[in-house]
Chain A
């Protein structure tokens, strides 16, 4: 919808036919919605750029230890020799940026900012992905049940969604993340914090996607193919999984892609407020929280974690917008 396209207006207005013309084969054959959407998406350069950035980010997060061993220093290694003891600020221009320390060093400790941001992406992406998975699972299952069965089931689930949406979400998430002791539920350290954040973010955000899925199921339920399946004797669970779920995959894909960036921002916010994954594990939000106190002596410490969040979130938003347009050109 919002991504500026490098297409002539005529191509945008014309919709699917133009896209089909562009295909190499002249043979007319049926294409699934997925194939058509993929063809549209491939022509959306902005969305594809977002997708490539996401791919690079994921690769960077996976191979962080390797990349750091080539281009940096371990994220927890202190380099006091890079710090001016008088003002506790990095020595050198722009926070000590050099070939040795690509993005400079952290004030006070002198830890390598490049490797801390790279490792920070692991926490950010991991939490955002799994939290989104939880949102989508809960939202899809409950939304489908509410929309399909209707009646009192729908009433209960819909009220439940109302309650969740009326919660002061951030305060609540803060409280929950704050009260858990350092050892709980048989876990400790990073494992505990990451699972906790996944649970909090996923558990409080599912109603948004739940409402969308409920609405879609409600309209799909009345369609002829569902009647046909039922008259052939299909049971409810067969209709739900074989008839309705495949038709929900497009909105699920689109909204998952758009949920990931909002979950990344949510995680960063919780880390910023001090209830995220605990130090010394690096998080982007946590770095920004510290940068509040010393951005004047180390601008790199404020700028790079912020840019990391911005680039990641923007890339997902671009891809998500592109996907939505590809599946539903009317929305543009």
Chain B
């Protein structure tokens, strides 16, 4: 943070700095708690439910494996060590990296290392990073669509409250928040891909850098389906906010001093409404970047969310740990950005 820029007001950069520092420390603590909880779910909960180390290991060997192989696997994966030691190994991997003896030689996994998959034996982090562009494309594309449509619908509905447009769009919005994406997703696949043949095969991932047109054509259906659900919620939120804002005294003042209605609505009305909308937007986007689990499963998109579902299906702890930590990081960072923007916009936040 450049202290020079704000020299005219000495107390403020300092307080922003401490505020950000405090939030960063809290964020790191939060990540620790999330990782401990994930670890506990995978190791403590099955123990409590009565599974032994060998039972756990039997998931990661072939069907024909005998008791001895299972026992060796349990030792190799370190399931017999106390849970604290196992967790310590994981944390050490993140901060200093780990060495892995995979038989023919020793492999070094540099920090930050999220470990190796129990099933595919691949290191987790590169796998995750490879899939990130897919989830990123899906989430950002959908976000643009839902933000534009949701906010526009909400504003127009609020301004023409009680009109046919208002009733229709709010009816559609209420239906939108009541529909599960795995239903609208299948229905839209059946109609637009299979019956009408308008879009390509969604599951074929083509990077933007290779062929932007095919990229967009394959993603348009997931974008629209996902955006519809979110747009519904944003339209409801924007409409409620606009109704409240437009009845404020300062709006009357703005009208009274002869401002054009367009300026009153966009500059004075919408601006106040946008704060809660943008807050929600930040949090929703953070949540989606950590894996649009349902959308990716419905459309068979090989992104972070699909990775998470597959990892859980395989009981592949290192993969699940990686995905949960990545998702939690996105959520926390999104929270952090939203709060910091608040702190910049609204000085009262800093004091509390």
Contact = CB atoms under 8 A, between A and B. Distances in A.
Instruction: Tell me whether A and B are bound partners.
Output: yes
B110 interface: no
Contacts of B46: 179-181
Nearest to B321: A175
A63 interface: no
A317 B239 CA distance: 17
A176 B236 CA distance: 33
Q: Which 7 A-B pairs have the closest CB atoms?
A: A168-B327, A184-B49, A306-B183, A4-B167, A314-B178, A313-B178, A2-B170
Contacts of B183: 288, 302, 305-306, 309-310
Contacts of A70: none
A180 B45 CA distance: 7
A272 B182 contact: yes
B313 A168 contact: no
Contacts of B179: 306, 309-310, 313
Interface string A166-177: 111011101110
A168 B331 CA distance: 8
Interface in B141-177: 162, 166-167, 170-171, 173-175, 177
B287 interface: yes
B309 interface: yes
A254 to B, nearest CB: 15
A291 interface: yes
Given A176-B45, A269-B180, A171 B190 contact: no
Residue in B33, B37, B294, B312 with the greatest tally of chain A CB atoms within 10 Å:
B312
Interface range, B side: 35 or more
Interface stretch (A103-111, A125-133, A212-220, A292-300): A292-300
Contacts of B293: 170-171, 174, 273
A158 to B, nearest CB: 12
Given A184-B49, A185-B49, A310-B175, 20 more contacts: A166-B30, A168-B290, A168-B291, A168-B324, A170-B293, A171-B293, A171-B324, A171-B327, A175-B42, A176-B41, A176-B45, A179-B42, A181-B46, A268-B182, A295-B186, A302-B183, A302-B190, A303-B187, A313-B178, A317-B174
A207 interface: no
11 contacts: A163-B33, A166-B332, A168-B327, A172-B37, A172-B38, A174-B309, A181-B50, A185-B48, A268-B180, A272-B180, A314-B174
Interface in A271-312: 272-275, 285, 288-289, 291-292, 295-296, 299, 302-303, 305-306, 309-310
Interface in A166-220: 166-168, 170-172, 174-176, 178-181, 183-185
Nearest to B45: A179
A1 B173 CA distance: 12
A327 to B, nearest CB: 16
B98 interface: no
Interface of B: 26, 30, 33-34, 37-38, 41-42, 45-46, 48-51, 162, 166-167, 170-171, 173-175, 177-180, 182-183, 186-187, 189-190, 194, 236, 239-240, 287, 290-291, 293-294, 297-298, 308-309, 312-313, 315, 320, 323-324, 327-328, 331-332, 335
Contact of A272 (B175, B240, B294): B294
A222 interface: no
Given A166-B332, A179-B45, A9 B324 contact: no
Contacts of A268: 180, 182
